[in-house]
Every structure is written in structure tokens, then in C-alpha cells.
Amino acid sequence: MMVAQMQYQTSYSSVGYAPSLAALGGTSCATPTANAACLIDNSIANATTLGTARNGYLYGASGNASEFSVGNYPASVGGTGFNSFCAFEDEVLRVDANGANNSSSCQSLVAPQTLTH
């Protein structure tokens, strides 16, 4: 998702980074748009609740003109996964071995860490 945010910013420079996970996905990819850029699989773009988790993980993304934050978290810590992962515009992938969904390791001005287990 970090790379998708970079690609989004290049493709839609007037917007900046994708404001949501849904904006990185999309189903009608013949003509991608800023609202559905088709940069990630749509099943991941929709994996934001326990019922739509993908491979046991929930995903989040947010962004604005100059910053972004992306992350994924186990739907059930210890059950579907152990680690959470996040990154922002410094392009460093961070890992939280506790599977936290509000990890302090990814504090950016924009954070998708509103997901809950």
C-alpha cells in the first residue's frame, strides 16, 4: 500500500496522496480515477471490518496533499496474525509485534489507525 500511495500521488498530483483505502482500489479499471485508482486489489481496499478482513488482516489508508499513512492489523491478534504493519511518507515499514491497531510507531498527522480488532 505504501507503493500504491506513491503511485497515486504521481498520477493525481493535484490531489496528493489517496484520502482513503477505497481510493486506492476500484472495480472498473478501464479508466482509473482519483476515487478508484485501481492500484491495489479491491478485496484489500474493502478489508476494513472483521467481516471483510483479507487473509486475517484489516487494512487502512489515509492521506492529504502532502502526507499519507497506511497500515494493516490482525483481525484477531494471535488468531489470524501476530504483527501489525504501518508506514507513512518516510517510506519506512514499521512492525508492531503486539499487533496493535493504534501503534505509536506510526504517528503521522494522518493516520488510518481507527481500525479496531
The mean pLDDT value of the chain amounts to 85
Q: Which of 48, 32, 57 is nearest to 23 (CA)?
A: 32
Per-residue pLDDT tens digits for 57-109: 999 888 999 988 888 889 998 999 998 888 888 888 888 888 876 555 565 54
- The pTM assigned to this predicted structure is 0.85
More confidently predicted of 53 and 103: 53
**H or E, element range at 88:** strand 84-88
Q: Where are the alpha helices (DSSP H) in the chain?
A: 2-11, 21-24, 42-45
Domain limits of the chain?
2-106
